[in-house]
Amino acid sequence: DTEVTQTPKHLVMGMTNKKSLKCEQHMGHRAMYWYKQKAKKPPELMFVYSYEKLSINESVPSRFSPECPNSSLLNLHLHALQPEDSALYLCASSQPLPGQREAFFGQGTRLTVV
């Protein structure tokens, strides 16, 4: 089973709302990632969790707050977003380095901020 499940698939939120994106994997992976992808651009790394600890934050604004409650779950809490934050948010998981570590992506949450 190489599945990463993200919910919701689509989300429309106002600039004053608080919402959360959820990601789940049952592959026993111990590294989980959040990526942001704008149209016609490659995915850009936001956060990496390794063994449930935040290990990389790519200078993401504090209005995005990640959380890893356990080894299978990854959340992204959203608050006071801007219209330019509208994008496809992708979750991925893999085993941590070293070695050839393929990552598997969820279907993404398509976020629109109005």
Partner 1 sequence: RKEVEQDPGPFNVPEGATVAFNCTYSNSASQSFFWYRQDCRKEPKLLMSVYSSGNEDGRFTAQLNRASQYISLLIRDSKLSDSATYLCVVNKRGSGNTGKLIFGQGTTLQVKP
Residues that bind partner 1 (CB under 8 A): 31, 33, 41-45, 48, 50, 55-56, 88, 90, 92, 94, 96-108, 110
Q: How far is the CB of 29 from partner 1 (least distance, A)?
A: 12
Q: How far is the CB of 80 from partner 1 (least distance, A)?
A: 27
Query: What 3-state class would DSSP assign to 108?
Result: coil
Query: What 3-state class would DSSP assign to 41?
Result: coil
Decide whether 79 or 104 has the Cβ nearer to partner 1. 104
- Distance between CA atoms of residues 6 and 40, nearest Å: 21
Cβ atoms of residues 109 and 102 within 8 Å: no
Q: How far is the CB of 99 from partner 1 (least distance, A)?
A: 7
Decide whether 17 or 57 has the Cβ nearer to partner 1. 57
Cβ atoms of residues 33 and 19 within 8 Å: no
